[in-house]
Amino acid sequence: MYKSEPAELHLGGVQLARGYRNRLKQTLETFVPNGGAFGRQYKTGDLARCVSGPELQCLGRIDFQVKLRGLRIELGEIESVLLSTPHVLNFVAIVSKDQLVAYATPASASIEAMYAGAVLRLTSYMVPVAIMALDALPYTLNGKVDRKALPAVVGTLEIDGPAALKKRSAALKKLSGCDSA
C-alpha cells in the first residue's frame, strides 16, 4: 500500500474555471501553472495524501477556513474585523464543540464592546457565540497562536433563541444609543 506525504490538494482539468471574476490577485494566488496538458491547477486549501492508487485521504484544511452548520467561514476575516475594535491587542477565533468562539487580549475594551463590534460588522453566522478575555494568548515556539492550548469553553452556549436575540439586541442598543433595537 502506497502512502504519500501530506500536501495541498490541487485540481485540474477541462472543467476548471479560468479564475475569479474581477479578482486578479486572488486568481493568481489560487490558480497556479502546472506545465501539464491543461496549463493550470486550482489550489483547494485542503490537505490530502494518496493512500493507495487513486484513493485520496483528506486530512483537513491548511488554512483557517472552517465549515460550520453548512456555511464556510474564514476565521481570519472574523479576527481582522475584531482586531480593528479599539483597545484590543490580539484576537483569535476557533470552532469549539460545533460553535464559533473567540479569544481576545483586550487592552481596555470590554467583552460587550467587542461583541457589539462583531454584531455590527459581521454577518450573523460569523458572530462568535462567546468571546473570552485572556491575559495573553498561548504561542508556539514559532510565534504562532497555539490554538490547541486555548482554554476550553465553560458551559453550553446558546446560538439562537430568545437569550441570543436579547444579547444581540442589547449590543446594538448600546452601540446606537437608542432605547430600543
- Residue 161: pLDDT band with limits 50, 70, 90: very low
Output the 3-class SS for 31-64: EEECCCCCCEEEEEEEEEEEEECCEEEEEEECCC
Contact predicate 40/31, CB 8 Å: yes
How confident is the model at residue 58, as a pLDDT?
Answer: 78
pLDDT of residue 152: 83
Mean pLDDT of the chain: 80
Which domains are delineated in the chain?
7-61 (2.30.38.10), 65-176 (3.30.300.30)
3 state DSSP class of 141? coil
Residue 154: the pLDDT is 67
Alpha-carbon gap, residue 57 to 55, rounded angstroms: 7
Quote the CA–CA distance of 126 and 115 in Å, as a whole number: 11
Confidence of residue 149 (pLDDT cuts 50, 70, 90): very high
**What is the chain's alpha carbon radius of gyration, rounded to the nearest angstrom?**
20
pLDDT at 54: 79
pLDDT at 157 over 50: no
Q: Tens digits of per-residue pLDDT, 54-104?
A: 788 877 767 778 888 888 888 888 888 888 878 888 889 998 888 899 998
Output DSSP code: residue 139: B
pTM of this structure: 0.60
